[in-house]
Amino acid sequence: MDDMLKLARTMMARAYAPYSKFHVGAVVKSDDGSLHAGCNVENSAYPQGWCAEASAIAAMVGAGQRRILECVVMAPGVEIVTPCGGCRQKLREFGGDDMLIHLCHPDGLHRTVTLGTLLPMSFGPHNLGPA
């Protein structure tokens, strides 16, 4: 967990969030144990920005991995930050209900939930059958 937290802190620091000023870092661990990290990247045309989770997933796919076992989401503030709806679905593409989502602040882990809790009865690759 410490290596994931450290990477997430680095990603938070590198986030490009000049509009919201809300820096988010995300790290996914794939089933070979490798870590892939990303941050949110905003855009002056607001809807064109994307979330930290999307960046981390893109890094993982680019590294040739396809299965997420765990994900750290790190954000500032007092309230625990959970992945947005779109990111829950993006995570679902690469893992099941048992995926662990670690909700963190820069000071460390605050709570762990499963993807199944965040996105119950999800639509996923299984609905489309073998590719």
- Rounded Cα gap, residues 27 and 4, in angstroms: 6
| DSSP letter (8 states) at residue 49 | -
- Rounded to a whole number of angstroms, the minimum distance from the CB of residue 49 to ligand THU is 5
| Interacting residue ranges for ligand THU, rule: CB under 6 A | 17, 20, 22, 24, 40, 42, 49, 51-53, 73, 81, 83-84, 87
Catalytic residue (one of 42, 53, 70, 79): 53
Q: Is 79 considered catalytic here?
A: no
Strand residue runs (E) in 1-131: 25-30, 35-39, 68-74, 100-105, 108-114
- Rounded to a whole number of angstroms, the minimum distance from the CB of residue 89 to ligand THU is 12
Closest to ligand THU by CB, 8 vs 35, is 8
- Rounded Cα gap, residues 95 and 31, in angstroms: 10
Closest to ligand THU by CB, 23 vs 29, is 23
Our separate counts of H helices and E strands in the chain read 4, 5
Of 59, 70, 63, residue with least CA distance to 96: 70
- Rounded to a whole number of angstroms, the minimum distance from the CB of residue 123 to ligand THU is 19
Closest to ligand THU by CB, 32 vs 111, is 111
Catalytic residue IDs: 53
